[in-house]
Chains A and B, each alone.
Chain A
Amino acid sequence: MESLDDEGVVLRVGEVAARHGDDPHRLVQILRDVQAALHHVPAAALDGLAQRLGLARVQVEGVATFYSHLSATARGHYHFLFSDGYTDRMLGREALVEQLCAALGVERGVPSADGRVTIEDTACTGLCDQGPAGLVNGRPLSGLGPMRIETIAGLVKLGVPVDEWPQELFDVADNIHRRDLLLAGPIQSGDGVRAVLERGAEATLAEVERAGLRGRGGAGFPTARKWGFCRQAEADERVVACNADEGEPGTFKDRVLLHTQPDLVFEGMTVCARVIGARRGLVYLRGEYAFLREPLEAVLAERRRQGLLGKAILGAEGFDFDIEIHLGAGAYICGEESAMIESLEGHRGTPRIRPPFPVVSGYLGLPTVVDNVESFAAAGAIAAHGGDWFCACGTAESTGTKLLSVAGDCARPGIYEFPFGVTVAEVLEACGGSGARAVQVGGPSGTCIGQTEFSRRIAFEDLATGGAFTVFGPGRDMVEVALHHSRFFAHESCGFCTPCRVGTSVLAQGLERIARGGAGRADLEPLKQLSGVMRSMSHCGLGMTAANPFMQTLERFPEDYEERLAGDDVMPAFDLDAALAEARALSGRDDAHAHLEQRHG
């Protein structure tokens, strides 16, 4: 491995920073490049960047230590991140990680002795329909199985560079099983932009309103209203930002949209730019989707050639707009729009105080529309086809269609575009998941329901969702599901506010105790109360919904909890025997009376 002394590191990061114009607002992008070049962000890099960018060292350290894809210690030239989504677990990912660790003689999370290989776990990488999945040096690995792991181990042992591995290892399928408005009839590139020029900005905004389009990220805010606010905000410059930080475990429809319909997404962003009067467009692409960057850049370049981006778009004087792609660096919280803006500005992904909302003060304080990938795709199609075309589909309150990312215990996982209003049972029927015990709609932050509720509808007025639809078959243990997702939220909490920072960890610990049979019925009360405090007092949606997996599974699958609870009483929070083991060994004493009856292992 290349090893640089501190001076060498400072020189190297200086080159990286120079490529980014020494712009402190590009710090996250710069740190990503430093990580890629040096396999970590060494201490000397913090000093070098601080000096170069005019920031305090501790400020750079704050950013570098916030994102999971950045590390203070060196990662291997072969850096594996195995997706630890629950669906990956259901498909047996644990055994595969063990297999690769054993084959390469590497301990999980610890660099190999020669520093060549690191194998780590990471949150769901958005390949749930083709798991177990992972990333090697940022490139996607899907459909992993014992054979593939053997192949990969062989390639690593032979020292074959990742770029020279067989392409089929990196194939990512789209798995589209149902197409409707957006996926069935893609528009010709330029149709939306031409339409907005013909119709005019105001009339286009009216079409989006007539369409009834609501935010596809899950929150469902009326898109036309958002665009209207931004358009009215007083400013010389406005920004269009596309939220492609698809981090909700179980969601992958934005990956498929960006792979199959990038033009439609960019079309929507350009339409928005015309409506609100923005010159600058940003896409915040989740770090796990870095492999999409090159193809997306190619599409952007083509659009510039076609006069659909750049100066005087389609010859319209003053219609200047271009789009730049920023990459995330491993932080679920950056899917929250104000945290995403912070990250785009080169900061830690801490959600902002609101008000002001991004439409008034967003990227660099400029009025900013932040919309989901799917929202922009829909807006692009609406511009071309009109609002009536769109709202003819769906329900009165939830018009149009929704792309569902279906994964878990079903025969045909993948993308299903359904009109809003479709029932959970209908989706299960379509994907071959009938007989399911539970479905998690909208990921762990969404709603987890059991069979009695399968007649409920996917719609903002019933089951709102960003798109995840995760199926749990008969025999799945819902306490394990809740525990897994509680750990996820604890890992992803930004650490800013008390209820989320501490609450998510307390909750995860509590669920660990329950799962291993170390809790009594009375232990549930503090956790329920804590869940309520997290919901009402947290700073942002992460903390507010982090207790959902626990509360919802407790309510709907109490039997899973019941069989693990040790009795009515509170159980000790710690394992007395384990706590006393060292003292007993040292003193050579083990009093028969100094034991509790505990089920702790």
Chain B
Amino acid sequence: MADGTITIDGQTVPFTEGQTIMQAAEAAGVYIAHLCHHPEFRPHGSCKLCTVKAGGRHVAACTAPASDGLEVENESEELAAGRRALLQLLFVEGNHYCPFCERSGNCQLQALAYRYGMVEPHFPHFYPQREVDASHPDVVLERNRCILCALCVRASRDVDGKHVFDIVGRGIHARLAVNSASGRLADTDLAPGDRALEVCPVGAIIVRGRGFAVPIGERLYDHRPINEIGNRVPESEQ
């Protein structure tokens, strides 16, 4: 597969050999919704927010390779409805209370929900019982908000070389666990400055003392939508 071009909603986008649809889109400044993708990490493909229609087939843009002449549909009514449903599923699966979440306004899940006009959960809430781990002096792990994107897993394993986090359990019982016999974050070797602390797209990993450094109302996505400024974790939160 050599270099070439694809089209995304009619716009011509070049790609280089080996790039995924997402990578080509990012290089061209075209936004494709996503949560588990991060340009610095190996493609994961679990949240499925980036599902596009490529050559008539539904594929995850973050894992599907670009190929010359491929026609990609990104912002159609159908895909928007699908993405809205995925967001609703993520909301009802966990316990997401935006009004008192430290990450509100900086949260990518919330920003995408605004972007796709999610005004109600649509599906019954699960109200799961999840553990909050406040054992660590520098970090709080708020599992109620975890969406299992595994970005912290990848960052800790692949960048920090520590493997502090991983997903355990199966199916709806899958959960984020930490690498210690006690199961407590304080007993792992997580430390300030770890890349794993800078990648959470939601409010599941909160660095202490920074939660309200910027007031709500003046945050990243409070004034500009995510498709304009992209998926970012503001420095004030890291």
Contacts and interface: CB of A to CB of B under 8 A. Distances in A.
Interface stretch (A167-175, A317-325, A501-509): A501-509
Interface in A488-531: 490-499, 501-506, 509, 526, 529-530
B181 A43 contact: yes
A503 B123 CA distance: 10
A496 B92 contact: no
Interface in B12-66: 43, 45-49, 51, 58, 60, 63, 65
B211 interface: no
A58 B169 contact: no
B61 to A, nearest CB: 12
B221 interface: no
Nearest to B84: A533
B58 A495 contact: no
B171 A58 contact: no
A169 B54 CA distance: 55
B89 A503 contact: yes
Contacts of B73: none
Interface in A335-393: 348, 353, 355
Contact of A506 (B43, B81, B92, B157): B92
Interface string A407-419: 0000000000000
A495 B181 contact: no
A532 B78 CA distance: 10
B163 interface: yes
Contacts of B147: 498
A351 B57 CA distance: 19
A494 B168 contact: no
Interface string A568-595: 0000011000000000000000000000
B85 interface: yes
B86 interface: yes
Contacts of B65: 355
B54 to A, nearest CB: 12
Nearest to B57: A536
B170 interface: yes
Contacts of A56: 157, 163, 166, 179
Nearest to B58: A536
B166 A496 contact: no
A538 B45 CA distance: 10
B155 to A, nearest CB: 14
A533 B82 contact: yes
B178 interface: yes
A59 B163 contact: yes
B85 A533 contact: yes
B47 to A, nearest CB: 5
Contacts of B148: 495, 501
Interface stretch (A25-33, A60-68, A184-192, A249-257): A60-68
Given A57-B180, A355-B65, A498 B169 contact: no
Nearest to A43: B181
Contacts of B229: none
A491 B48 contact: no
Given A65-B169, A506-B123, A498 B46 contact: yes
Contacts of B171: 490-495, 501, 504-505
B51 A353 contact: no
A35 to B, nearest CB: 16
A532 B58 CA distance: 12
A124 interface: no
A505 B172 contact: yes
Nearest to B62: A353
A537 interface: yes
Given A353-B43, A502-B92, A536-B58, A529 B85 contact: yes
A394 B48 CA distance: 40
Given A57-B181, A355-B65, A530-B123, A501 B174 contact: yes
B78 to A, nearest CB: 9
A527 to B, nearest CB: 9
A539 interface: yes
B70 interface: no
Nearest to B49: A498
B214 interface: no
A497 B123 contact: no
A495 B167 contact: yes
Nearest to A6: B181
A331 interface: yes
Interface string A31-49: 0000000000001001100
B47 A497 contact: yes
B48 A57 contact: no
Interface in B156-196: 157, 163-174, 177-181
Contacts of B47: 497-498
B172 A533 contact: no
A46 B177 CA distance: 13
9 closest A-B pairs (Cβ-Cβ)? Answer: A495-B174, A56-B163, A502-B89, A58-B179, A573-B124, A493-B171, A58-B166, A536-B58, A495-B171
13 contacts: A47-B181, A58-B168, A65-B168, A348-B167, A355-B65, A493-B170, A495-B169, A495-B172, A498-B86, A499-B85, A501-B148, A529-B85, A538-B48
Interface of A: 43, 46-47, 56-59, 61-62, 65-67, 331, 348, 353, 355, 490-499, 501-506, 509, 526, 529-530, 532-533, 536-539, 573-574
Given A59-B163, A539-B48, 4 more contacts: A61-B166, A62-B166, A348-B170, A490-B172
